[in-house]
């Protein structure tokens, strides 16, 4: 739409989506093609222009303008000429006044057809909600349910929060309503265009448009808009040394806290940070661990020892589908990527340093009556506040997962395995969790330098050191280490 201040607002069937000059030229060029007695009429009403048909109207015979469901666009002018010819023909063949106006409502206005298909925002929102809960969780494949707090929250975040931007749900979808919703300023004052919110609003509007009787018009208006996200939150980084220094200093400070409850809470949340780094977990996933203090037995009888078991050298962690906390009605909170078994970074020294064999899972009890999204975010919210109170060098929870990914690369875990353990794809791992920078590269190289070397390189180095690699003993060692047949 033109932004010129002298461009009038155009009525009819919605505002025009092309320049006023093009529309006006089409009007001048084509209006002469109307049949005798029925003409196009460009009528101004306040600040708006409307494209109408003008003819002698039965039964009065007075020549008056009449709405004809025409857009003020070049195509609207062409449609107007066609409708003028239909009206001219009808006026010459239909003798009953009531029959003519019934015909006009149906053929020219499309009134009966439109009324039969009219559907409000409320009805469309209900359809989208029902379809959402009839579907499956995209990460786990689990059927969605209104009895799962996390599904209620996901619905609210992906759809409900955008539906709330429409002030009147009993209106019918219109481009004016779409524009008002799409361009509502962000509450934080940041620029809207290019934001994640703008992109999400755009695709919600497309979903609404596809269920509207005037979907062609609405989708046509949306088509030229570019919803691409160009603004992203800067990813925080956390190096191994910075994390360890902060952790040990905060651990020492915790012992100086006089209040036993507060001291215990500080130790518990420090334990969570260690678990996040060593297992690459989200805080709520740690709250879904089922073998912290007791063994877990799989359906086929495999026993996975408790993390706290001193004889457990693997330290595998079993995550259930749901956290230990529920809402006051007993509805469950699921974890993002579903239950699975995860393994820690293969560094026994760091595992011992973080004292992870002594589980200290923080307690969280949602308040009765809390909204679903408040309950789901509650554990993470506590974690955020504790990080701030402990003066953690980062505020983003995912910085710990990025550190896990960095350590995994350092200790030789292939990206496919790291992605699987973290509960996502290799593409997501590469785009969201890879730590850039010279210091990160050096950290990885330190680990790579300590990884096993190829057989031929090993033979060369042993020979250079004066070892006879042809002795039975040397051959036996090499055969075991390199699994030679």
Is residue 129 included in any domain, yes or no?
no
Domain that holds residue 49: 9-117
* 207 and 268 assigned to the same domain: no
Query: Are residues 209 and 261 located together in one domain of the fold?
Result: no
Residues of the chain with pLDDT under 50: 1-18, 114-116, 438, 440, 442-445, 447-449
pLDDT tens by residue, 453-478: 567 767 777 788 788 888 988 888 77
pLDDT for the residue numbered 117: 61
Answer yes or no: do 34 and 173 share one domain: no
Neighbours of 333 (CB within 10 A): 25
469 part of a folded domain: no
Pair (197, 336) in one structural domain: no
Residue 181 located in a structural domain: yes
Domain shared by 287 and 375, yes or no: yes
**Can you give the pLDDT at residue 10?**
37
CA atoms of 322 and 330, how far apart (whole Å): 12
- Other CB atoms within a 10 A radius of the CB of residue 213 amount to 17
Instruction: Mark whether 162 and 246 lie in a shared domain.
Output: no
Q: Per residue in 192-221, pLDDT tens?
A: 999 999 999 999 999 999 998 888 888 999
CA 290/CA 294 separation, integer angstroms: 8
Burial (CB count <10 Å: 0-12, 13-18, 19+), residue 212: buried
Count up the domains in the chain and report the number. 3
Question: Domain check: are 425 and 313 in the same one?
Answer: yes
**Of the candidates 222, 248, 263, which is a domain's last residue?**
222
**Are both 152 and 104 inside the same structural domain?**
no
Same-domain check for residues 257 and 347: yes
Q: What pLDDT, on the 0 to 100 scale, is given for residue 47?
A: 63
Q: Are residues 382 and 278 in the same domain?
A: yes
Does residue 485 form part of some domain? no
Kind plus residue range of the DSSP H or E element containing 388? helix 372-389
> Domain of 424: which CATH number?
1.10.443
pLDDT at 111: 67
Domain-located, residue 263: yes
Q: Determine the pLDDT at residue 328.
A: 83
- Across 371-382, b (16+ Cβ under 10 Å) vs e yields ebbebbbbbeeb
Whether 127 is in a domain gets the answer: no
- Burial (CB count within 10 angstroms: exposed 0-12, middle 13-18, buried 19+), residue 62: exposed
Asked which of 160, 189, 222 is the last residue of a domain, the reply is: 222
For helices 438-448 and 398-410, the axis angle rounded to 10 degrees is 40
pLDDT at residue 449 in the model: 46
* Phi and psi, residue 52, nearest 5°: -125, 170
Residues 274 and 199 in one domain: no
For residues 147 and 110, membership in a common domain is answered with no
Predicted pLDDT of residue 433: 60
pLDDT tens digits for 325-383? 998 888 899 998 888 899 998 888 999 999 999 999 999 999 888 888 888 888 999 99
């Amino acid at each position: 739409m033109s932004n010129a201040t002298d461009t009038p607002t155009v009525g009819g069937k919605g505002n025009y989506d092309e320049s006023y000059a093009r529309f006006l030229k089409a009007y001048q060029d084509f209006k002469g093609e109307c049949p005798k007695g029925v003409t196009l009429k460009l009528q101004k009403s306040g600040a708006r222009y409307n494209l109408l048909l003008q003819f002698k109207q039965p039964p009065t015979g007075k020549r008056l303008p009449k709405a004809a469901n025409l857009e003020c666009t070049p195509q609207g002018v062409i449609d107007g000429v066609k409708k003028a010819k239909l009206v001219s023909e009808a006026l010459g063949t239909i003798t009953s006044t009531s029959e003519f106006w019934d015909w006009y409502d149906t053929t020219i206005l499309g009134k009966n057809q439109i009324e039969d298909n009219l559907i409000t925002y409320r009805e469309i929102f209900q359809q989208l909600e029902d379809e959402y809960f009839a579907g499956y969780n995209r990460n786990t494949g689990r059927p969605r349910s209104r009895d799962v707090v996390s599904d209620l929250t996901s619905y609210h975040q992906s759809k409900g929060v955008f539906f709330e931007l429409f002030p009147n749900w009993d209106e019918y979808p219109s481009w004016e309503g779409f524009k008002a919703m799409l361009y509502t300023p962000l509450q934080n004052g940041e620029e809207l265009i290019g934001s994640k919110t703008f992109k999400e609003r755009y695709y919600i509007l497309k979903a609404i448009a596809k269920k509207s009787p005037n979907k062609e018009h609405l989708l046509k208006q949306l088509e030229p808009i570019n919803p691409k996200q160009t603004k992203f939150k800067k990813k925080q980084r956390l190096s191994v040394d910075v994390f360890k220094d902060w952790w040990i200093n905060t651990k020492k400070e915790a012992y100086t806290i006089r209040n036993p409850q507060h001291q215990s809470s500080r130790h518990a949340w420090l334990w969570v940070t260690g678990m996040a780094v060593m297992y690459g977990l989200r805080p709520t996933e740690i709250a879904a661990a089922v073998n912290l203090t007791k063994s877990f037995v799989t359906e086929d009888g495999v026993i996975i020892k408790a993390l706290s078991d001193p004889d457990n050298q693997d330290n595998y962690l079993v995550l259930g589908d749901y956290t230990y906390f529920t809402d006051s009605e007993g509805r469950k909170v699921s974890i993002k990527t579903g239950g699975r078994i995860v393994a820690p970074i293969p560094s026994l020294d760091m595992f011992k340093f973080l004292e992870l064999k002594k589980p200290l899972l923080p307690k969280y009890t949602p308040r009765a009556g809390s909204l679903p999204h408040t309950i789901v975010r509650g554990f993470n919210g506590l974690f955020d506040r504790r990080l701030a109170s402990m003066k953690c060098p980062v505020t983003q929870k995912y910085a710990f997962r990025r550190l896990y990914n960095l350590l995994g690369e350092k200790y030789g875990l292939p990206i496919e395995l790291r992605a699987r353990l973290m509960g996502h794809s290799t593409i997501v791992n590469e785009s969201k969790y890879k730590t850039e920078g010279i210091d990160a590269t050096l950290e990885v190289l330190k680990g790579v330098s300590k990884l096993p070397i190829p057989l031929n390189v090993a033979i060369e180095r042993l020979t250079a050191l004066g070892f006879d690699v042809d002795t039975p003993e040397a051959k036996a060692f090499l055969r075991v280490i390199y699994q030679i047949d």
